[in-house]
């Protein structure tokens, strides 16, 4: 099987400053991939390179066997970070979604009946069909995310790129978005998303790429999410706890152990100084019987 995406010793950046260096990477058709890494690690730049928005300074990028050169390849849908959207721009839900067909509209700039029918079907599938005439600023964060997902799907993509699709949404909306993406992936569309949410998003993805200016590791989360790999990825001391199928990642801020110890000492001093209170340092009294909940 030919790869869907190929990075071949690719280096790119902005204003002669490299952001990604010597990236060699392949993503296969139908994969569901998460890009993880700290701010400034190059996650968004990698997506922008696939869209033709950033030109490699060295090496090459190929999508569907075609070299990416200065413009977005066909059959790619892109969902940007919500923070980059001007929500005051006077545009409705259906107008945003129909932008997904602009590159394929031929000589006529307006959508035909077939395109509008496809748009209505996608909006209904995403649960926002009743919002077609509503201004985008009147939507919740989860609804806004679905609008741009619908725009991307209207382009009939083989590859869907999403930049932080679960940021700044509540837990329920995050889970709904991930379930939607899983359904889209099961229909044969490859999905590549960026995320900084290790526990709530990345640990549940089938394949993850750890990125920090270069590819640190890639594979299934339960294989590559180790203390060593994540510490190298985030340039910080990380902890990984595995218990059966549970995988939990946490950082370990420097100096907090000493701070906790010093605060524990302050708690003793405050307790002793409180009027009418005398804290024993030599003996702890436990109840003779366990606590019961009264019905």
Task: Give 42-85 as a DSSP string.
Answer: SHHHHHHHHTTSS--SEEEEEETTEE--SSPPTTEEEE--GGGS
Q: Please report which confidence band the pLDDT of residue 92 belongs to, taking 50, 70 and 90 as the band edges.
A: very high
Last residue of a domain, one of 135, 156, 177: 156
| Number of domains, the chain | 2
Comparing 33-37, 98-102, 130-134, 177-181, the range with the smallest average pLDDT is 98-102
Phi, psi of 288 (to 5 degrees): -70, -25
Rounded percentage of the chain residues whose pLDDT exceeds 70: 83
Last residue of a domain, one of 96, 121, 156: 156
Confidence check: pLDDT of 190 > 90:
yes
Q: What is the pLDDT of residue 270?
A: 58
Q: Please report which confidence band the pLDDT of residue 258 belongs to, taking 50, 70 and 90 as the band edges.
A: low
Whole-number Cα distances in Å, 171 to 5, 6, 42, 108: 31, 34, 26, 42
Q: Are residues 3 and 147 in the same domain?
A: no
pLDDT tens digit sequence for 191-222: 999 998 999 899 889 999 999 999 999 999 99
**Residue 92 DSSP label:** B
Q: Are residues 128 and 114 in the same domain?
A: yes
pLDDT tens digit sequence for 229-238: 999 999 999 9
Residue 207: closest CA among 216, 218, 215, 196: 218
Q: Which residue has the higher pLDDT, 77 or 275?
A: 77
Q: Are residues 220 and 175 in the same domain?
A: yes
Q: Are residues 91 and 30 in the same domain?
A: no
Q: Are residues 200 and 185 in the same domain?
A: yes
**Residue 5 domain-assigned (yes or no):** yes
Q: How wide is the angle at C-alpha 212 spanned by C-alphas 211 and 216, nearest 5°?
A: 55
Q: Are residues 66 and 118 in the same domain?
A: no
Q: Are residues 35 and 93 in the same domain?
A: no
Record the tokens describing residue 226, joined without a space. 């180790």
Q: Are residues 151 and 166 in the same domain?
A: no
Confidence check: pLDDT of 165 > 80:
yes
Furthest C-alpha separation in the chain: 86
Q: Please report which confidence band the pLDDT of residue 108 belongs to, taking 50, 70 and 90 as the band edges.
A: low
The H or E element containing residue 242 is strand 238-243
Confidence check: pLDDT of 155 > 70:
yes
Whole domain around residue 148: which residue ranges? Answer: 84-156
**Residue 110 domain-assigned (yes or no):** yes
Give me the chain's average pLDDT, please.
86
**Residue 281 domain-assigned (yes or no):** no
Last residue of a domain, one of 92, 121, 156: 156
Q: What is the pLDDT of residue 221?
A: 95
Q: pTM score, two decimals? A: 0.83
Question: For residue 236, what is the domain's CATH number?
Answer: 3.40.50.300
Q: Please report which confidence band the pLDDT of residue 285 belongs to, taking 50, 70 and 90 as the band edges.
A: very low
The rounded distance, in Å, linking the Cα atoms of 168 and 165 is 9
Confidence check: pLDDT of 277 > 70:
no
Q: What is the pLDDT of residue 24?
A: 97
Q: What is the pLDDT of residue 1?
A: 86
**Which residues are 27's β-sheet partners?**
5
The rounded distance, in Å, linking the Cα atoms of 104 and 101 is 5
The H or E element containing residue 191 is strand 190-195
What DSSP letter does each residue of 192-226 carry, written as one string? EEEES-TTTTGGGSSEEEEESSSEEEEE-HHHH--
């Amino acid at each position: 099987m030919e790869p869907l995406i190929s990075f071949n010793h690719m280096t790119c950046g902005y204003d002669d400053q490299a952001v990604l260096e010597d990236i060699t990477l392949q993503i296969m058709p139908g994969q569901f991939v998460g890009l993880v890494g700290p701010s400034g690690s190059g996650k968004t730049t990698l997506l922008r390179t696939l869209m033709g928005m950033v030109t490699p300074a060295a090496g090459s990028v190929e999508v569907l066997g075609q070299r990416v050169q200065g413009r977005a390849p066909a059959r790619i849908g892109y969902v940007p970070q919500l923070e980059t959207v001007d929500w005051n721009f006077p545009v409705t839900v259906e107008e945003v979604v129909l932008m997904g067909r602009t590159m394929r509209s031929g000589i006529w700039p307006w959508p035909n009946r077939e395109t509008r029918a496809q748009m209505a079907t996608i909006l209904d599938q995403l649960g926002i069909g009743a919002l077609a005439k509503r201004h985008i600023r009147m939507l919740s964060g989860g609804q806004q995310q679905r609008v741009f997902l619908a725009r991307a799907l209207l382009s009939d993509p083989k590859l869907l790129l999403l930049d932080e699709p679960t940021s700044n949404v509540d837990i329920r909306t995050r889970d709904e978005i991930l379930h939607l993406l899983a359904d889209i992936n099961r229909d044969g569309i490859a999905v590549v998303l960026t995320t900084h949410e290790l526990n709530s998003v990345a640990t549940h993805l089938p394949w993850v790429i750890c990125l920090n200016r270069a590819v640190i590791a890639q594979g299934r989360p339960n294989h590559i999410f180790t203390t060593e790999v994540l510490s190298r990825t985030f340039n910080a001391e990380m902890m990984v706890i595995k218990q059966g199928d549970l995988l939990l990642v946490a950082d370990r801020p420097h100096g907090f152990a000493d701070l906790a110890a010093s605060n524990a000492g302050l708690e003793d001093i405050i307790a002793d100084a409180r009027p009418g209170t005398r804290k024993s340092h030599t003996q702890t009294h436990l109840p003779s019987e366990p606590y019961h909940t009264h019905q």
